[in-house]
Amino acid sequence: MGISSKLGNLGVVTTTLDQAINWGRTGAMWPLLFGLACCAIEYMATQASSYDLSRFGMELNRATPRQSDLLIVSGRLTRKMAPVVRQLYDQMADPKWVIAMGDCASCGGVYNNYAVVQGCDEIIPVDVYVAGCPPRPEQLLHGIMTLHEKIKGESIRDWAVRETLKI
Amino acid sequence: MALQTAGNSEQMSEWQGSLDELKGLVSERAITGETMLLNMGPHHPSTHGVLRLLLELDGEEVVSCLPDVGYLHTGIEKTIESKSYEKGVTLTDRIDYLSPMSNNMAYCMAVEKLVGLEVPKRAQIMRVICMELTRINSHLVWLGTHAIDMGAMSVLLYAFRERERVLQMFEMLSGQRLMGSYIRPGGVWRDFPEAFLPALESFLEYFPPRIDEYERLLTNNPLWIDRTQGVGVIEPEKALAWGMTGPSLRGSGVAWDLRKSMPYSSYDEFDFNVPVGEHGDVYDRFYIRILELRESVKILKQAIQKLPAKGPFRSEDRKFVPPPRSELGQSMEAVIHHFKLWTEGFSAPDQEVYSAIESPRGEVGVYIHGTGGNKPRRVHFKTPSFMHISAMPLMSQGHLIADLVAIIGSVDIVLGDCDR
């Protein structure tokens, strides 16, 4: 009858709710259109022709944090900029993830001085750290794939617990 | 747990100041509430980094514009004071991250002037090749982002396609795509690898038709012309008074290019033109950079011809330049020099020097004050982006917000360059 007679016996795919949701979350993650310094240039290169981030469903950068899932902190985070980044993170809706791109965002990099926050994990929780000064586009892609792996292991329950306990 | 300790973001985002702080900076109408004050940035898609502008708007028209810089202040000048002269080169890469080689060059020239170090002829031409490739590299990023700000989304993809080839060449030279630190005091880090010159030649064949392609997309595009011509005009006298340099100054019709007017690194032996604009608007600044891409290709072609086949790529004054690895097993003196230079570095006299070069953005000047020891007392960078941001309120008065985005793009600012 109807569509099944045309398509034949397709069978049934069974999955868990977690797997289905995580598949959706990894397949079209929207990064925040946000750059700080040198790493942002490599991030642009990752977006552009040769490395083509849209292979991961990530070609759509949202300029507003309300519509983004992923914050890529690309570059050195200074003390003056830190409250701004924190506010951007707070404005993002759950579920949200953070990649610290490059040495400066991960640990302060070459700047061990008065002006630079020694790693953006001092102000926001970070999921994946990408090393390099600046990291090559391949390294960033690897970081994004590592994040995908992490998300595949997550459960929607984790986010619910986090929401209830406000942590 | 980190989430709790950082405090309530609602409180953080509330503005604590009073309007009185703005008296004298914005017009009286803003204080009474007749015009609107709008905060643009530091997170804004088209400010090329973390620039913040406080705009006073009458409807959509910009009445006044107050730039707020420092969101990328990294204390580079202070950090260099604690490094030996050669180690400082790595930090200069990160000032203006779109043209790292130009910063290397400005810094190394100042160090060479301070200690009186001669640079061999071959190294000078090699440096010219690096700097012109950097200019192409930087102008391509500018072209892509400037166009994307104005709604021409595809130009970025074309520009980055070519840029990728330049970065591959940088990688051949230094092992790094962006921050190569290839230019060092006394010359360059190592000789060109074998594959470099063929790659450069094939790039020079490939690139000019690509410039035609960008021009087909933009130069005669009626939308592009409507958005750029007559926008953000700055008169030559005012541009000079505000300290503008580089393509942004030449757009106003002032033929000032340090490569011509104060030649360095053998630039006087090259035959090239300095494109000069007429109207000083966004379009002229755009077109000058397109022409500069062509001039850079011209210079690179000449440089390949002029490059001596043999000769040192770095000064052989062993008091300042470490000996090659091959000498270390043979000469005790080489081992001593190597050890001294990599532990203590070289000393520079207690004097002040200033030297400047023409970077893709304008005049990058470096002031160094030595101490007589192995570290500088003070290093200051005179960077073009800071001047250009200062001049932006002047250019944007009376324009719409959408034009302001075009103006920001046209002066080609890099906030790392501005804030250091």
Structure confidence at residue B21 (pLDDT): 74
Measured between beta carbons, which residues in chain B are less than 8 angstroms from residue A30?
none
Give the pair of three-digit tokens for residue B197.
């010159």
Rounded CA separation B361/B383 (Å): 9
Q: How far is CA B148 from CA B116, B185, B324, in A?
A: 45, 38, 46
Q: Provide residues of B within 8 Å CB-CB of chain A.
A: 1-4, 6, 9, 12-13, 42-45, 49-50, 70-76, 78-79, 90-91, 94, 97-98, 141, 144-145, 156-158, 160-161, 163-164, 167, 177-179, 415-416, 419
Taking CA–CA distances from A42, the nearest residue in chain B reads: B178
Q: Kind and range of the H or E element at B246?
A: helix B246-250
Taking the CA of residue A81 and the nearest CA in chain B, the distance in Å comes to 5
Contact yes or no for A116 and B74 at CB 8 A: yes
Q: Tell me, what's the pLDDT at B6? A: 40
pLDDT at site B11: 46
Is A167 within 8 Å of B4 when comparing Cβ atoms? Answer: yes
Rounded Cα gap, residues B51 and B40, in angstroms: 8
- Calculate mean pLDDT across residues A29-45: 88
CB B379 within 8 A of CB B81: yes
CA nearest to B265, candidates B420, B150, B109: B109
Pick the residue from chain B with its C-alpha nearest to A49: B157
The per-residue pLDDT for B8 is 45
- pLDDT digit string (tens) for B154-176? 888 899 999 999 999 999 998 88
Give B172-213 as a DSSP string: HHHS-SS----EETTEESSPPPTTHHHHHHHHHHHHHHHHHH
Q: Check A110 against B94: CB less than 8 A apart.
A: yes
- Subunit contact B179:A80, Cβ cutoff 8 A: no
Cα gap B171→A28, rounded to integer Å: 32
What span, in angstroms and rounded, lies between the C-alpha atoms of B257 and B279?
Answer: 18
Judged against a pLDDT cut of 70, whether residue A3 lies above it is answered with no
- Six token digits for residue A160: 């619910």
- For chain B, residues with pLDDT lower than 70 are 1-17, 45-47
Q: For the residues of B65-81, what is the DSSP string, one character each?
A: EEEE--TT---HHHHHT
Which amino acid appears at position B254 of this protein?
Answer: V
CA distance A84 to chain B (A): 8
Distance CA B163, CA B169 (A): 10
Task: Please state, in angstroms and as integers, the Cα–Cα distance from residue B358 to each residue in A154, B48, B363, B384, following that order.
Answer: 52, 21, 5, 10
**Distance (Å) from the alpha carbon of B154 to chain A's nearest alpha carbon:** 10
- Residue B1 has a pLDDT of 31
| Cβ neighbours of B356 (radius 10 Å) | 19
In angstroms, what CA-CA distances link B294 with B27, B187, B291?
44, 26, 5
Distance CA B234, CA B130 (A): 32
pTM: 0.88
Whether the predicted pLDDT of A67 surpasses 50: yes
Listed in order, strand segments (DSSP E) in B18-132 are 36-40, 52-58, 61-68
What is the number of helices (H) and of strands (E) in chain B?
19, 8
Q: Please give the pLDDT value at position B57.
A: 87
Q: What is the distance between the alpha carbons of residues B152 and B156, in angstroms, rounded to a whole number?
A: 8
B202, B297 in Cβ contact below 8 A?
no
Residues with Cβ within 8 Å of residue A27, at least 6 apart in sequence: A56, A57
> In terms of CA atoms, which chain B residue is nearest residue A90?
B9
- Please determine, for residue A25, whether its predicted confidence score (pLDDT) is greater than 60: yes
Q: Record the tokens describing residue A146, joined without a space.
A: 């590592």
Average pLDDT along chain B: 87
Chain A residues with CB under 8 Å of B49 CB are 35-37, 40
Q: What number is the average pLDDT over the span A79-93? A: 89
8 A C-beta contact, residue A95 and residue A25: yes
Residue of B nearest to A47 (CA): B157
Q: What is the pLDDT of residues B296-328, one digit of tens each?
A: 999 999 999 988 888 888 888 888 888 888 888
Residue to mutate among B94, B96, B179, B379, with most A CBs inside 10 A, is B94
Classify residue B260 by burial, with Cβ atoms within 10 Å: 0-12, 13-18, 19+.
Answer: middle
Q: Give the dihedral of Cα atoms B284, B286, B287, B289; nearest 10 deg.
A: 120
Q: How far is B4 from chain A (nearest CA, A)?
A: 7
| Separation CA A166–CA B7 (nearest Å) | 13
Query: Are A80 and B78 inside 8 Å of each other by CB?
Result: no
- Kindly report the backbone phi and psi dihedral angles of residue B367, in degrees, each rounded to the nearest multiple of 5, phi listed first: -110, 125
Contact B71 A87 (CB under 8 A): no
- Residue contact A123–B6, C-beta within 8 A: yes
Q: What's the pLDDT at B280? A: 87
Cα(B382)–Cα(B364) distance, integer angstroms: 6
**Phi and psi for B416 in degrees, rounded to 5?**
-65, -35
Question: Domains (ranges, CATH) in chain B?
Answer: 76-418 (1.10.645.10)
Residue A20 has which token pair? Answer: 């289905």
Residues in chain B with CB shorter than 8 Å from the CB of A63 are 44-45
Contact B89, B108 (CB under 8 A): yes
CB B384 within 8 A of CB B246: yes
User: Does B73 sit within 8 Å of A80, measured CB to CB?
Assistant: yes
Instruction: Give the Å distances, CA to CA, from A151 to A33, A158, B206.
Output: 21, 11, 43
List, as ranges, residues 57-76 from A with C-beta within 8 Å of B: 61, 63, 75-76
**β-pairing verdict for A128-130 and A97-101:** parallel
**Burial label, B36 (beta-carbon count in 10 A; 0-12, 13-18, 19+):** middle
Q: Give the whole-angstrom CA distance, residue A67 versus residue A70.
A: 10
Question: Residues 102-131, chain A: which have Cβ within 8 Å of B?
Answer: 110-116, 121, 123-125
Looking at residue B47, its pLDDT comes to 64
pLDDT per residue over A114-137, tens digit each? 889 998 999 999 999 999 888 999
Tokens of B152: 């021409």
Flag if A124 and B12 touch (Cβ within 8 Å).
no
pLDDT at res. B180:
86
Alpha-carbon span B214 to B144, nearest angstrom = 10
Asked if B65 contacts B392 with a C-beta cutoff of 8 angstroms, the reply is yes
Give me the mean pLDDT over the A58-84 stretch: 88
Q: Check CB contact under 8 Å for B74 and A44.
A: no
d(Cα A43, Cα A35) in Å, to the nearest integer? 8
Could you tell me how many CB contacts below 8 A there are between chain A and chain B? 116
The answer to whether A134 contacts B179, with C-beta atoms less than 8 Å apart, is yes
Contact (CB, 8 A) for B412 and B392: no
- ipTM score assigned to the predicted complex: 0.84
Cβ atoms of B143 and B159 within 8 Å: the answer is yes
Cβ pair A111, B74 in contact under 8 A: yes
- Nearest CA distance, B257 vs chain A (angstrom): 26
Q: Rounded CA gap, B43 and B360, in Å?
A: 25
In chain B, what's the furthest Cα-to-Cα distance? 80
pLDDT > 70? residue A5: no
